[in-house]
């Protein structure tokens, strides 16, 4: 059987890989991909705790469902913003989008 710690270490590693992607990539879409990795790590963590500690209740799964919905909504809006900013400024490099005035 798999100890709970394996899932927790895995989700911590996935979270830190996503964190590195967010902090170090230039392309705004690559930063969004890092955010998605972090959200998936959180989901793995939540479901691991649900399975090992509260498997008879549904609370953990409702939490994961809400996180999934929030992640989907955030990706949609983020990509809309990136494409709109790309149309105006002709760049997707996050460093170059530093002035609000378009």
Partner 1 sequence: MTGLQIAFLAIAAVTLASAVLVVSSRKIMHAALWLVLALGGVAALFATLEASFFAAVQVMVYIGAIAILIIFSVMLTRRVMEDAGPQNTRYWPAALVVSLGVFGGIFFLLLQWPGFTIEARPVLEQGDFLVRFGQALVSPDEFVVPFEVASILLVAAMIGAIIIARDPSRK
Q: Shortest distance, CB of residue 65 to partner 1, whole angstroms?
A: 7
Site for partner 1 (CB under 8 A): how many residues?
Answer: 74
Cβ nearer to partner 1, comparing 99 with 102? 102
Residue 38: count other Cβ atoms within 10 Å of its Cβ: 19
Using CB atoms within 10 Å of the CB of residue 22, give its burial: 0 to 12 exposed, 13 to 18 middle, 19+ buried: middle
Out of 95, 98, 100, 101, the residue judged to bind partner 1 by CB under 8 A: 95
Whether the CB-CB separation of 43 and 64 falls below 8 Å is answered with yes
User: 26-45: which residues touch partner 1 (CB under 8 A)?
Assistant: 26-27, 29-30, 32-34, 36-37, 40, 43-44
Asked if residue 10 binds partner 1 (CB under 8 A), the reply is yes
Asked if residue 97 binds partner 1 (CB under 8 A), the reply is no
Q: Which two tokens stand for residue 31?
A: 């930063």
Specify the DSSP element, H or E, that contains 95: none
């Amino acid at each position: 059987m798999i100890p709970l710690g394996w899932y927790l270490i895995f989700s911590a590693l996935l979270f830190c890989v996503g964190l590195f992607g967010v902090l170090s990539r230039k392309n705004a879409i690559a930063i969004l991909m890092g955010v998605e990795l972090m959200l998936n790590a959180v989901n793995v963590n939540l479901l691991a705790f649900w399975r090992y500690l509260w498997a008879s209740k549904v609370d953990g799964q409702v939490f994961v469902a809400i996180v999934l919905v929030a992640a989907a909504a955030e990706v949609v809006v983020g990509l809309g913003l990136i494409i709109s900013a790309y149309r105006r400024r002709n760049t997707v490099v996050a460093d170059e989008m530093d002035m609000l005035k378009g």
